[in-house]
A and B are shown apart, each in its own frame.
Chain A
């Protein structure tokens, strides 16, 4: 009986081997590729087509080809560049604060001797809700009359009564504080995971050699953690560049237009004024800029990974 089973299975195994590794790999990624094709590439090609046409949805819809007119209009628009500047400013300051705080918190949790599980659970809470929802909550926290922040400032007896969302000097800061609260846990958790995955042996050897904490940090921890830090830096940068929901719910691009980011402006062009031609053009320019920037940022990481793969 046993030998019969073996005899029967052998030809089947041989048959399976007839599919080459390459074809097998294609087969595995095919479902994902189909999804990407329909939900990413088709819209991308359609948006590209729209960006070369006149497309005012409320005035005749998709119309004739206009060549590069939309690109010319967008690139000559003061408002567009003003939103680019706002986006870059926001990204620059927010990434510095988020990375610094995130790394700091990760090290604190890593070094904690008790309650790590509880701390990790608490830290992850801001990520458990959608930014659009938390943005609405924070609108009330920032309220000048009924807000919690101003209540505590008054309770401390400080003479300062900030108008968080109404003062043009504070609008951007309020947005950065909110985004920091929301996303520092993400940075902290990824960095913490990186720290926990580091091999123990080099650190034990360094300890035996009498290396100082700073030396260990500079020569071991930082280089070994660099790939994780680079990755989280790139992910957060891309996310910050495409900031929309926090602006939509928290500041509505105010005070004035001090927090009007590119994506919020793009949304207004597309879904308030229904100028799909301008919106598509901006989206493509934005995507191009992000891809180029990500390529440059990812190059060291990718080359390092390629080297490591080659060494194996």
Chain B
């Protein structure tokens, strides 16, 4: 028995190794390579003298791309940075537990936009106003896209950190489908107006319906080998469903919370958004839309299954652009989002109030969010928050289109959204409210409950979390 078991285990391990060696390459993240940059100024420092700081952040591309920049920081400063990559689903919980326990395990936190107010309100992070005032050139705070600077760093009149990665939304679409004369003629005949990337929600629905086709039907005059869908949606049991809905809610002139903290989640605008999403978008999305989040949608795009996204994270552009390589005949396009109203947000780096080395931690934050680091980050395909990097000519060339083609659109979105900031980002309950929403909206998406019932449940959840029908909002 024992001998057989070990033989079997060895056989399985060898088989897995062979299979993994022969398998095709994953398509979710195109390769990124750091460009040759000028070597940073090095500082001579014994390892034993280095000040240790720890950065808790999201495991994956965000962190992988930042690793070489961290090394640059270590070369210039007598600091040793330990990066703790944590799965996104656990990052908030883990950071909160350490913050509440005042363990000092992490010197620098990675904070999502909706979480900032809670971290600040509870004193988990330190304000950086004094540091920024003392180091104006190093930080160059005014260079951060103003709307991002506002929603990600400001709370109760203080600045609580610096953003380093934006996941602001725009839209992606198969430009080749919109350029095809056969499709253009068919669309005009059916809907009475020209086929072009959608700008209104009615156009999104029309175009999504138009391109939803069964295997065997023609697309660009060629029979489809599998079903094709008009739109890719993130309707799975994750938080991204509310990011998709966010643009629709803001477009209707409403929000999740009013500026006075009143709970608006079941008002007319919110109901319109959820109903439109469920009734007029989801029927034209792949069935897997009910189980996936953004990476699933990117897989669908690269697998030639969908014509476009609705409002979608622009930082995924390098993955979306890869569709040109994976889907024969595809040519990807970018837009600023439907009705020019989308979700905006960024990851903030905030210094823990339990940090034993707050000065070094702030130096680290300033470095990572600084222009040099952000330029390097952008060259690797990272979505920077700095205007000077977004407008840097080296990132607006045909060669860099595959990595940074979305930069110009990010700037437009920031401009479009300069006055449309969700009040949720200024509530200390923001993180909890944000974490509660996904699973509740998802119930409407799968048809378990009607949008009306779901919004009532969402309202009750908000009341429960905020301890009443008004949630604190501090701008």
Contacts and interface: CB of A to CB of B under 8 A. Distances in A.
Interface of A: 57-59, 61, 117-118, 120-122, 124-125, 143-146, 161, 163, 165-168, 251-258, 260, 271-274
B437 to A, nearest CB: 12
| Interface-centre pick from A165, A168, A252, A256 (highest chain B CB count, 10 A) | A256
A88 to B, nearest CB: 19
Contact of A253 (B1, B237, B432, B435): B237
A144 B287 contact: yes
Contacts of A253: 237, 439
B447 A166 contact: no
Given A118-B8, A257-B448, A166 B100 contact: no
10 contacts: A58-B431, A58-B432, A117-B4, A118-B8, A121-B1, A121-B8, A145-B299, A253-B237, A254-B290, A256-B446
B236 interface: yes
Given A254-B237, A273-B436, A273-B465, A143 B288 contact: yes
B142 interface: no
Contacts of A251: 237
A133 B431 CA distance: 28
A161 B226 CA distance: 13
Contacts of B237: 251-255
Closest 9 CB pairs of A and B: A166-B290, A256-B448, A254-B237, A256-B443, A255-B446, A252-B237, A121-B5, A163-B287, A117-B4
B9 to A, nearest CB: 8
B303 interface: yes
Interface residues of B, number: 39
B316 interface: no
B399 interface: no
| Interface-centre pick from A58, A61, A120, A273 (highest chain B CB count, 10 A) | A58
Contacts of A271: 93, 97
B286 interface: yes
Given A117-B1, A118-B4, A118-B8, A166 B288 contact: yes
Contacts, number: 104
Contacts of B436: 272-273
Contact of A145 (B1, B236, B303, B442): B303
A253 B236 CA distance: 11
B449 interface: yes
B449 A256 contact: yes
A257 B435 CA distance: 15
Contacts of B5: 121, 124
B238 A168 contact: no
Contacts of A252: 236-238, 439
A164 to B, nearest CB: 8
B38 interface: no
Given A166-B288, A273-B432, A57 B1 contact: no
A17 to B, nearest CB: 41
Interface of B is mostly: helix
A258 B448 contact: yes
A274 B432 CA distance: 9
Given A143-B288, A163-B291, A258-B448, A272 B238 contact: no
B288 A58 contact: no
Contact of B96 (A144, A166, A256, A274): A274
Given A58-B431, A255-B237, A273-B432, 18 more contacts: A58-B100, A61-B100, A118-B4, A118-B8, A122-B8, A125-B8, A144-B288, A144-B291, A145-B299, A145-B305, A146-B299, A163-B287, A163-B290, A251-B237, A254-B290, A255-B290, A256-B442, A273-B435
B113 interface: no
B300 A145 contact: yes
Contacts of A121: 1, 4-5, 8
B8 A272 contact: no
A213 to B, nearest CB: 27
Contacts of B8: 118, 121-122, 125
Contact of B291 (A120, A166, A168, A257): A166
| Interface-centre pick from A145, A257, A273 (highest chain B CB count, 10 A) | A145
Contacts of B428: 59
A187 B389 CA distance: 61
Contacts of B288: 143-145, 163, 166
A254 B4 contact: no
A101 to B, nearest CB: 22
Given A122-B8, A255-B237, A144 B286 contact: yes
Nearest to B238: A252
Contact of A254 (B3, B286, B439): B439
Nearest to B448: A256
Interface in B439-472: 439, 442-443, 446-449, 465
B446 A272 contact: no
B435 A165 contact: no
A163 B447 CA distance: 13
A118 B449 CA distance: 49
A29 to B, nearest CB: 31
Given A58-B100, A252-B238, A254-B291, A168 B300 contact: no
B312 to A, nearest CB: 18
A57 B291 contact: no
B337 interface: no
Nearest to A57: B100
A161 B122 CA distance: 49
A12 to B, nearest CB: 40
B382 interface: no
A163 B439 CA distance: 18
Nearest to A166: B290
B429 to A, nearest CB: 8
Interface string B1-25: 1011100100010000000000000
A136 B303 CA distance: 21
A61 B92 CA distance: 17
| Interface-centre pick from A125, A271, A273 (highest chain B CB count, 10 A) | A273
Interface in B394-448: 428, 431-432, 435-436, 439, 442-443, 446-448
